[in-house]
Amino acid sequence: MAVTVSPSRPHDTITGTPETGSQLTRIALIGNPNSGKTSLFNQLTGLNQKVGNFPGVTVDRKSGFAQLSSTRRAEIVDLPGTYSLYPKSLDEKVITDLLYDRGSAGYPDFVVVTVDASNLRRSLLLFSQLADLELPAILALNMTDVAERHGISIDIQALEQELGVPIVPMNARKGIGVAALKIVMAERLATHPVRFWEPNDELLPLVRQIRYYFNLHNDYLALHYAQQYRSISFLSVDDRQHIAELVAQSGFDATAWQAAETIARYQRINEVLLEAVTVTRTEKREPISNRIDKVLTHRVGGYAIFLGILFLLFQTIFAWAQYPMDLIDQGISALSELIQSSFAGPLVRLLTEGVLAGLGGVLIFIPQIALLFAFLAVLEETGYMARVTFLMDKLMRPFGLSGKSVVPLISGLACAVPAIMGARTIESWKDRMITIFVTPLMSCSARIPVYTVLVALVVPDRAVWGFLNLRGVALMGLYLLGVVAALGSAWVLKTLLKARERSYFIMEFPVYKWPRWKNVGITIWQKVSAFVWQAGKVIVAISILLWVLASYGPGQRQDAAEARVRAAAPAVATAVPDTTASQELERRVASVRLENSYAGLFGRGIEPVIRPLGFDWKIGIALLTSFAAREVFVGTISTIYSVGQDADLGTVQEKLRAEKDADGQLFFTPARAFSLLVFYVFAMQCMSTLAVTYRETKSWKWPLGQLVYMTGLAYVAALVVFQVLK
């Protein structure tokens, strides 16, 4: 296959002045799912990316800057993968909203269309629609290596002639051809493609009325207005009403015309391919992917492998992540001790008990989040996720979910926030709502610290059956409990909700590939930094707030309580410092001060409600602060218990173990710990999740439903656990 960019061909210059060094070129990347668009985006922008939102909707807007040449930089916008300009899901609507409105701020100067060379016919469908919108374009002919293996040879020059745009053959995963593409982009060689299809005479009366009314630049765009006016967000109510009337008058059958258009496009594409593509079947043997599928989707082997992968996932985030986590934990403790032994004063206490405690609570997460997202990214990259969908569809359907719900649910193991956003790929409204509603029941990584601390506290570190760790088994049990709750709740919802439209399952099976570690790395980097900068800020802020709440009380309340304790103490304790008696006194003083602090009063207030669950006011404080984010629990108890104890700050677990009840017995009995664990499995304690559910459902009904339902479930379950076990 010849790699040429045919410099001889005269290219039209595109809109905008040629020497706009100051003005940034805006380029949109568009293509089918699995066409290598994300790989290309990563190649072009590297770590120079940011994830924002498209205006008005909640679809991620991934954009970044690319240095195209020494003098030219461009903003690249990565659009969601789509098969056509007729959106079938929320994600895809973003594309039409962006490309139909020439006046919009984000309107691209030109588009780069990624096309799968091994699957040209279907890939060109989208390209042909873009061509008819008269968008200047460059075609990135991706996966040329796969095409070659399939015996497909493409005459690039002939194809350029047919399509009328510059074509750059490439292999985006390996970075081959990216340099050439950058040159073509920098030189702004994008051209208006040759038109493929135009609305015919029958459609013209309707199309022209719309075109002139809205002053559109072409008939095809007007046809899209007629097809999609209900979902185009920038049209006003009056505009939509006007189109609706025109459409009704003409008796326009949208579905039939769309089908006719698509078939006509394929006919034209076939002609193009006849000119430019020759297929020489080397040998008729089964592709490797199909042979792998025979194993990975086997009726027994398929599930066994999936379960094995899940188990590996848990062992990874529990066992392997433990080493870096211990290091972080010990590092923070050591730093805290160092500061406390070197300096004195209230600011030092703020720094160690407030700031450092909170910071530790953030940093300790990084190993687990990184490993989990590495895992999910590899599964996605290799194409295995699609097989999981295939394997699980039939099993999920009885619960009102589809195979497509599996990916959001599994992502929910990392964090419900991106998982709920990931549910956007589910076209069916009902399936999507159910998936969103139950996803927070999957144990997210923010629960891991709570699980880890409490499990380690009451479950012995012992091996079972020689190779399993008892703590690992307990952890898996907690995860399974979340899964069962999610599925059960989905089943209930299935019977309550009515479907609004039909649901599709059809999807393409990506060919198995080795993961690109650069893509995996970028995913990890994005997730970890998002966590540190977004969740981390809240956690540190709340840690400081808590320290203040736990250190100060209303009026003279704390001092009065302290005076009472000191007055009642035996003389020995006050006279000689550094004896057992005096230490005991100091501990009692700290304890009553905390009891009479703002936080203590807060916890005391809710204690009657949570006492049946085995919780005291200290846990009450932690439950309330967890509402900002569950992981705050660990920071909170760490702060609360460091106030109540000696200054020799150990790890969180040491502090918990030192906690005694009124009779001097260990406070965290298995009954209490398991009750608390079960509460954390079920309870909705995450403002971010509620916020994202609101954004995704556009209604407060859903997040409020989650809050009431999950917290109620948690209360009842914890009550049962404590009353049975105690």
Partner 1 sequence: MPSALSRRPLSVSAPAATSQRSAKDLQLGETGTICCLQDPEMALKLLEMGCVPGVRVRLSGRAPFGDPLMLVLGDEEYTLSLRKSEAATILLKD
Question: Is the torsion defined by CA of 670, 673, 676, 677 positive or negative?
Answer: negative
Binding residue for partner 1, selected from 403, 600, 620, 650, defined by CB under 8 A: 403
Q: How far is the CB of 284 from partner 1 (least distance, A)?
A: 10
Q: Does residue 258 bind partner 1 (CB under 8 A)?
A: yes
Q: How far is the CB of 176 from partner 1 (least distance, A)?
A: 22
Q: Pattern of binders to partner 1 over 77-96, x per CB under 8 A? A: ------xx-x-x--------
Of 83, 143, 136, give the one whose Cα is nearest residue 107: 136
In degrees, rounded to 5, the angle at the alpha carbon of residue 552 between the alpha carbons of residues 546 and 553 is: 115
Q: How far is the CB of 212 from partner 1 (least distance, A)?
A: 17
Q: How far is the CB of 319 from partner 1 (least distance, A)?
A: 30
Q: Measured in whole angstroms, how far is the alpha carbon of residue 65 from the centre of its chain?
A: 22
Q: How far is the CB of 405 from partner 1 (least distance, A)?
A: 14
Span from 235-243, 295-303, 354-362, 561-569 in contact with partner 1 (CB under 8 A):
295-303
Q: How far is the CB of 135 from partner 1 (least distance, A)?
A: 19
- The answer to whether 11 and 191 are in contact (CB under 8 A) is yes
DSSP letter string over 599-652?
A: HHHHHHHHHHHHGGGT--HHHHHHHHHTTT-TTHHHHHHHHHHHHHS-SS---H
- The answer to whether 441 and 490 are in contact (CB under 8 A) is no
How many other C-beta atoms can be found within 10 angstroms of the C-beta atom of residue 499?
A: 12
- The answer to whether 361 and 637 are in contact (CB under 8 A) is no
Span from 175-183, 287-295, 309-317, 653-661 in contact with partner 1 (CB under 8 A):
287-295
Q: Does residue 242 bind partner 1 (CB under 8 A)?
A: no
Q: Pattern of binders to partner 1 over 195-224, x per CB under 8 A? A: -------xx-xx------------------
In terms of phi and psi (left: phi > 0; alpha: psi -120 to 50; beta: otherwise), the region of 426 is beta
- The answer to whether 12 and 191 are in contact (CB under 8 A) is yes
Q: Does residue 260 bind partner 1 (CB under 8 A)?
A: yes
Phi, psi for residue 703 in degrees, rounded to 5 = -60, -35
Binding residue for partner 1, selected from 65, 107, 213, 252, defined by CB under 8 A: 252
Binding residue for partner 1, selected from 26, 72, 73, 150, defined by CB under 8 A: 150
Q: Does residue 297 bind partner 1 (CB under 8 A)?
A: yes
Give dist(CA 142, CA 121) in Å, integer. 14
Q: According to CB under 8 A, which residues from 116 to 135 bind partner 1?
A: 118-119, 121-122, 125
Considering the complex, state which of residue 237 and residue 506 has its C-beta at the smaller distance from partner 1. 506
Considering the complex, state which of residue 262 and residue 382 has its C-beta at the smaller distance from partner 1. 262
C-alpha neighbours within 13 Å on the C-beta side of residue 50: 5
Give dist(CA 530, CA 541) in Å, integer. 16
Span from 296-304, 429-437, 603-611, 651-659 in contact with partner 1 (CB under 8 A):
296-304
* Helix axis angle, 156-163 to 254-276, nearest 10°: 140
In degrees, rounded to 5, the angle at the alpha carbon of residue 332 between the alpha carbons of residues 330 and 337 is: 95
Q: How far is the CB of 303 from partner 1 (least distance, A)?
A: 7
Span from 488-496, 503-511, 628-636, 639-647 in contact with partner 1 (CB under 8 A):
503-511
Q: Does residue 293 bind partner 1 (CB under 8 A)?
A: yes
- Interface ranges with partner 1 (CB under 8 A): 83-84, 86, 88, 118-119, 121-122, 125, 150, 152, 202-203, 205-206, 249-253, 255-260, 262-264, 266, 279, 281, 287, 289-290, 293-294, 297-300, 302-303, 386, 389-391, 393-395, 403, 502, 504-509, 511
